[in-house]
Structure 1
Amino acid sequence: MPGFSDVLGHEQTIAHMKSAIEANKVSHAYLLAGEKGSGKKMLAGIFARTLQCEAHGSEPCGKCHSCIQAESGNQPDIIYVTHEKPGSISVDDIRGQVNGDIQIKPYSSPYKIYIIDEAEKLTQQAQNALLKTIEEPPAYAIIMLLTANEGMLLPTIKSRCVTLTMKPVPLPLIRQYLMEELQIPDYRADICAAFSQGNVGKAKRLALSDSFGEMLEHALHMVKYISEMEPSDLVEDLKKINTYKMDIQDYLDLLTVWYRDVLMFKATCDANNLVFSNELNSIRDKAKDSSYEGLECIIKALEKAKVRLNANVNFDMAMELLLLTMKEN
């Protein structure tokens, strides 16, 4: 069972939680904000287990009855709110699992803790129903909202919560974790750490993904040889890119970091800060053949492609425009 000491980074959030536990000044409502994979659910779980732990320390002991129950997912006073509809958490979900249950005292613990993951999916009706409970909760109740988009929550809810924002984890820490804990080779660990942008969950997912390795190989082929490709080659590559449709943001990030490496090397001739350090010869050649304006044009086109795809523009059209810009520049 992981404790606070097993968490990578997030020192400020952990310090706040530990301080609240030790001073016995735990809030009735918390908002943990951070992107998917940033560790919100892990930290919320550790905080809940520590609060319910019979050893009353600043870490869950892992041995008491409550910790053993929590480890198996059967701690009756730690409630993870679920929802049937994947895209929304309805007012019935909140009324049934929170409002209709919260007046019942804890079964065996000092607190009754409700953890609502993906809180950005709460409908406005659900948020209004939850607001009444947050405003006047029983003394033993703690509600934890976990969200990747706090802008979707009502200001009245946010104002009544202690907000803890998940900060990016330093890349050297992530790299070390991938190499030592997951036995990832150093070059791949460098790339996955860089692409994670401080998100440990994302770094782990990429490092353990077979499809990411294939996608990386294709992206490198594209950036190295696109200037020599014929229109028929581009059509074939577009078909291949279609197979990465579900992970297209990762694919575009790979291209972006490559071109930033080229731009950085062109400006400094310093290979020490390159993400794709194993590709130095190709980066040097591309930097020599490309202009600053052309590289900046490609990087802007990559950002524009992301925006277009997020706005549900036709996938093939967005990618065709991007590939043509990459080829021309």
Structure 2
Amino acid sequence: MESFKDVIGHSEIIEYIRNAVSSDKIAHAYIVNGNQGAGKKMLAKLFAMTVLCENSNTDPCGTCPSCLQAESMNHPDLIWVNHEKPATIGVDDVRAQINNTIHIKPYKSEYKVYIMPEADKMTEQAQNALLKTLEEPPSYVIFLLLTSNAKALMSTITSRCVILRLRNIKETLIKKYLMENMNVPDYQAEVSAAFSQGNLGQGIMLAKSEHFNALMESALRFLRNEDSLKMDDLIEAVKESTNYKVDYCDYLDIFTIWYRDILLYKATKDIDKLIFKNEISKIKEMAKHKSYEDIELVLKGIENAKERLRANVNFDLVMELLFHTMKETNR
């Protein structure tokens, strides 16, 4: 059974939860805000299990009847608010699952906890219906609203909630988790962690994604050989890159990390700090032949390409301009 010890990162939020529970200063409503895959559901569940636990006031014991019921999603005082429409939480969902049940006192616990995943999908009507409850909630009720975009909630709701913001996790922690818990090889774990942007869920997804691995190999195949490419190769690379239009940021991020590795090695000769350690032979060669100005020019070209693509400039044209910029720095 999971406990706070199983949570990767978010130590400040865990400490806050423990202090709130142990000092009996629990607010009636919280917004747990973080990107998809950041661990919102896990933290909310552990928060609920802690306040409902029969044996502990800082961590769920994991063995009492209350913890076992919560773990199996069968606790009568832990309500997960669901919605049938995938993109919307409607007013009927709020009324049926919250407003119509909130005045029923807890069956076996001191508290009654409502967890609403994807709370930012509530319609305006649904939010107004929830607001009436938030204004004068029963003393035994705790709301945990999970959001990826807290700004989508009305200010009248956010002002009545404590906001817990899930911050990015250190890449070293994500890499360690992937290697120790998922048996991901060192190199793959390092690359997945680098592209996770501090999000453990994203790191796990990338480590298991054949699509991401294919995308990375496509980019690296070009990068390894870009100094010897001819125009026909360049055109072919542009065509191949269009297979990943929907992932152009990931595709170009691979280019950015590659050139930052070259820059880092050129400046420090420190292999341990590189992401693409497996490509060290090629990185050494390119660091030797490219000047600092060349590398900065390409990095700037990559960022310009991202901006142009965000502005809906023709994809093939943008990529061809970028590849020409890269080719001009080959010596």
- Structure 1 unaligned segments of length 5 or more: list them: none
For 1:142, the equivalent position in structure 2 comes to: 142
For 2:93, the equivalent position in structure 1 comes to: 93
For 2:268, the equivalent position in structure 1 comes to: 268
Contact 2:168/2:198, CA 8 A, preserved across alignment: yes
**Letter of the 1:102 counterpart:** I
- Structure 2 unaligned segments of length 5 or more: list them: none
The 2-side partners of 1:314 and 1:126 are apart by 41
For 2:12, the equivalent position in structure 1 comes to: 12
The 2-side partners of 1:82 and 1:314 are apart by 41
For 1:189, the equivalent position in structure 2 comes to: 189
1:172-217 CA-partner distances (Å, limit 9, x unpaired): 2222222222111112222222222322112222222233322222
The 2-side partners of 1:322 and 1:32 are apart by 40
Residue 2 of structure 1 pairs with residue 2 of structure 2: yes
Contact 1:196/1:202, CA 8 A, preserved across alignment: yes
DSSP-derived class of the 1:272 partner: helix
DSSP-derived class of the 2:271 partner: coil
Deviates more, 1:17-26 or 1:93-102: 93-102
Classify 1:95/1:63 alpha carbon distance in 2 versus 1 (closer, same or farther; 3 Å): same
Classify 1:130/1:186 alpha carbon distance in 2 versus 1 (closer, same or farther; 3 Å): same
For 1:56, the equivalent position in structure 2 comes to: 56
1:29-51 CA-partner distances (Å, limit 9, x unpaired): 11112222111111111111121
Q: CA deviation at 1:166?
A: 1.3
Residue 152 of structure 1 pairs with residue 186 of structure 2: no
Deviates more, 1:61-70 or 1:254-263: 61-70
Instruction: Give the 5 Å matches for 1:1-329.
Output: 1-307=1-307, 316=316, 318-329=318-329
**Letter of the 1:164 counterpart:** L
Give the TM-score of the pair, scaled to structure 2: 0.88
Identity %: 51
**Letter of the 2:202 counterpart:** K
The 2-side partners of 1:318 and 1:88 are apart by 36
The 1-side partners of 2:163 and 2:36 are apart by 17
Contact 1:227/1:328, CA 8 A, preserved across alignment: no
Deviates more, 1:72-81 or 1:302-311: 302-311
Greater Cα radius of gyration, structure 1 or 2:
2
Q: CA deviation at 1:232?
A: 4.3
Q: CA deviation at 1:73?
A: 2.0
Give the TM-score of the pair, scaled to structure 1: 0.88
